[in-house]
């Protein structure tokens, strides 16, 4: 477990900024206790500093996981967010999309969100910006990237893609066989 290098921090924060904007400061400087991001086997973990200090007694090979996994670095150096980061993303999301009940299952099966399934959208959402997808009861379902801005979304036909799928809660079930 080690701190992120400058290059890794830059790539990670650029990706995180797409979803939560300047709210990154709220993740690190929390009122209860300070938290930090640490790297273990190409995965970035969000962990409290007090727990991180306690894990120094555990060997690197024996440490499997610590805190909340936000994602992993690919072999090409890009960062890919994991669904385990959804609670933190949902709490501080800059742009949100609410899907109707008939659009929940297609999204949870890994499909993009089409305009016909959208219930509400935050105003002034730009194109290709990270969004968190909620159902109409404000339960976070996943996250993606906006295919169109809010203004363009109103003009597109009902079958047009509004949000590109990135990750959803259904991944836990779809990836279950890969874990064992």
pLDDT of residue 118: 94
Helix, strand and coil percent figures for the chain, each rounded to 5: 35, 30, 35
Domain membership flag for residue 137: yes
Asked if 79 and 98 sit in the same domain, the reply is no
Asked if 121 and 163 sit in the same domain, the reply is yes
Domain membership flag for residue 136: yes
Residue 180 has pLDDT above 60, yes or no: no
Residue 34 has pLDDT above 60, yes or no: yes
Residue 89 has pLDDT above 80, yes or no: yes
Asked if 68 and 130 sit in the same domain, the reply is no
Asked if 6 and 80 sit in the same domain, the reply is yes
Domain membership flag for residue 28: yes
> In the beta sheet, which residues pair with residue 121?
97
Percent of the chain with pLDDT over 90: 66
pTM: 0.86
Specify the number of domains making up the chain.
2
Please give the residue range of the domain that contains residue 23. 2-85
Domain's final residue, options 85, 116, 148: 85
Question: Residue 107's closest CA among 66, 143, 55, 68?
Answer: 143
Asked if 110 and 159 sit in the same domain, the reply is yes
Name residues whose C-beta falls within 8 Å of residue 161's C-beta, 6 or more positions apart in sequence: 112, 113, 114, 115, 147
Residue matched to tokens 């900024």: 17
| DSSP string covering 11-52 | HHHHHHHHHHGGGHHHHHS-SSS-EEEEEETTEEEEEEHHHH
Domain's final residue, options 32, 59, 85: 85
Here the CATH number for the domain that contains residue 38 is: 3.10.450.220
Domain's final residue, options 65, 85, 105: 85
Residue 178 has pLDDT above 60, yes or no: no
**Distance of alpha carbon 49 from alpha carbon 5, whole angstroms:** 18
Domain membership flag for residue 180: no
Domain membership flag for residue 179: no
Compute the radius of gyration of the chain from its Cα atoms: 17
Question: Residue 154's closest CA among 177, 180, 124?
Answer: 124
Segment 136-171, tens digit of pLDDT: 999 999 999 999 999 998 889 999 999 999 999 988
Asked if 116 and 76 sit in the same domain, the reply is no
């Amino acid at each position: 477990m080690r701190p992120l290098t400058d290059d890794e921090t830059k790539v990670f924060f650029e990706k995180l900024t797409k979803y939560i904007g300047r709210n990154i400061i709220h993740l690190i400087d929390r009122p209860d206790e300070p938290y930090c991001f640490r790297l273990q086997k190409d995965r970035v973990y969000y962990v409290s500093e007090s727990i991180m200090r306690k894990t120094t007694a555990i060997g690197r090979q024996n440490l499997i996981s610590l805190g909340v996994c936000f994602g992993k670095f690919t072999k090409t150096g890009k960062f890919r967010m994991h669904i385990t980061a959804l609670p933190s993303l949902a709490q501080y999301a800059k742009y949100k999309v609410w899907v109707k009940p008939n659009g929940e299952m297609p999204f949870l099966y890994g499909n993009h969100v089409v305009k016909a399934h959208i219930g509400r959208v935050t105003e002034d959402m730009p194109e290709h910006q990270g969004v968190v997808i909620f159902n109409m009861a404000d339960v976070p379902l996943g996250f993606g990237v906006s295919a169109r801005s809010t203004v363009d979304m109103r003009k597109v036909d009902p079958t047009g893609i509004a949000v590109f799928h990135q990750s959803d809660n259904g991944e836990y079930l779809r990836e279950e066989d890969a874990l064992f």
